[in-house]
A and B are shown apart, each in its own frame.
Chain A
Amino acid sequence: MISKNALQRLEQKHPWIGIVFFLDLIGGLALTMKYMFSRTVTMQYPDKEKWMPYPRYRGHHVLRRDENGENKCVACELCSKICPTNCITVVPHENEQGKRRPLVYEVNLARCLFCGLCEDACPEEAIALGSTFEYAAYRSQDLQVGCDELLNAKGKTEQGGCVVSAQFFPDDNARVEAKEKAGYHWWRNIHRQKDKIESSVQGKDR
Chain B
Amino acid sequence: MELIIAAIVILIKVIVIAVILFIVPIPLTWMERKIAGHIQQRLGPMRVGWHGLLQPVADGLKLLTKEDIIPDQADRLLFKMAPLVSLVPPFAVFVAIPFGESVSVMGYEISLYISDMNVGLLYILAVAGLEIYGVIFGGWASNSKYALLGSLRTCAQLISYEIPMGFSVIGVIMLSHSMSLLDIVNAQQDIWFIVYQPLGFFIFFVAGLAEAQRIPFDLAEAEGDLGAGFHTEYSGMRFSFFMLSEYLVMLTISILCVLLFFGGWHGVLIPLPAPIWFALKVGLFIYIFMWFRFTFPRYRYDQLMNIGWKVLLPLSLFNILLTGIFIF
Contact A32 B291 (CB under 8 A): yes
Contact B296 A35 (CB under 8 A): no
User: CB-defined interface of A135-169 with B at 8 Å, one 1/0 digit per residue?
Assistant: 00000000000000000000000000000000000
Task: Give the chain A neighbours of B260 by CB distance below 8 A.
Answer: none
- Give the complex CA separation of A29 and B288 in angstroms: 10
Q: A32-B291, A47-B46 are in contact. Are A25 and B296 (CB under 8 A)?
A: yes
Contact A44 B296 (CB under 8 A): no
Determine if B191 is an interface residue (Cβ-Cβ < 8 Å).
Answer: no
Distance in angstroms from A166 CB to nearest chain B CB is: 15
- Give the complex CA separation of A95 and B4 in angstroms: 99
* Interface residue range, chain A: 10 to 19
Task: Give the chain B neighbours of A203 by CB distance below 8 A.
Answer: none
Task: Give the chain A neighbours of B295 by CB distance below 8 A.
Answer: 28-29, 31-32
Distance in angstroms from A9 CB to nearest chain B CB is: 26
Q: A33-B291, A36-B35, A44-B46 are in contact. Are A28 and B296 (CB under 8 A)?
A: yes
Contact B41 A29 (CB under 8 A): no
Kindly identify, within residues 23 to 82 of chain B, every residue whose CB is under 8 Å from any CB belonging to chain A. Answer: 35, 37-43, 46-47
What residue in chain A is nearest B37 (Cβ atoms)?
Answer: A40
Distance in angstroms from A42 CB to nearest chain B CB is: 4
Determine if A115 is an interface residue (Cβ-Cβ < 8 Å).
Answer: no
Give the tally of cross-chain contacts (CB within 8 A). Answer: 39
- Give the complex CA separation of A169 and B55 in angstroms: 21
- Give the complex CA separation of A31 and B39 in angstroms: 9
* Interface residue range, chain B: 10 to 19
Task: Give the chain B neighbours of A86 by CB distance below 8 A.
Answer: none
Determine if B309 is an interface residue (Cβ-Cβ < 8 Å).
Answer: no
Partner of B41, one of A28, A31, A40, A44: A40
Contact A47 B47 (CB under 8 A): yes
Contact A191 B47 (CB under 8 A): no
Determine if A91 is an interface residue (Cβ-Cβ < 8 Å).
Answer: no
What residue in chain B is nearest A29 (Cβ atoms)?
Answer: B295
Q: A25-B296, A32-B291, A32-B295 are in contact. Are A40 and B46 (CB under 8 A)?
A: no
Determine if B196 is an interface residue (Cβ-Cβ < 8 Å).
Answer: no
Determine if B294 is an interface residue (Cβ-Cβ < 8 Å).
Answer: yes
Contact B41 A35 (CB under 8 A): yes
Contact A36 B39 (CB under 8 A): yes
Distance in angstroms from A120 CB to nearest chain B CB is: 39
Kindly identify, within residues 25 to 64 of chain A, every residue whose CB is under 8 Å from any CB belonging to chain B. Answer: 25, 28-29, 31-33, 35-42, 44, 47
Q: 8 more A-B contacts (CB under 8 A) besides A38-B41, A41-B41?
A: A28-B296, A31-B295, A32-B291, A37-B38, A40-B37, A40-B42, A42-B42, A44-B43
Cross-chain pairs A/B with CB under 8 angstroms, 11 sampled: A29-B291, A29-B295, A32-B295, A33-B291, A35-B39, A35-B40, A40-B37, A40-B42, A44-B46, A189-B41, A191-B41
- Chain B residues close to A by CB (< 8 Å): 35, 37-43, 46-47, 291-292, 294-296
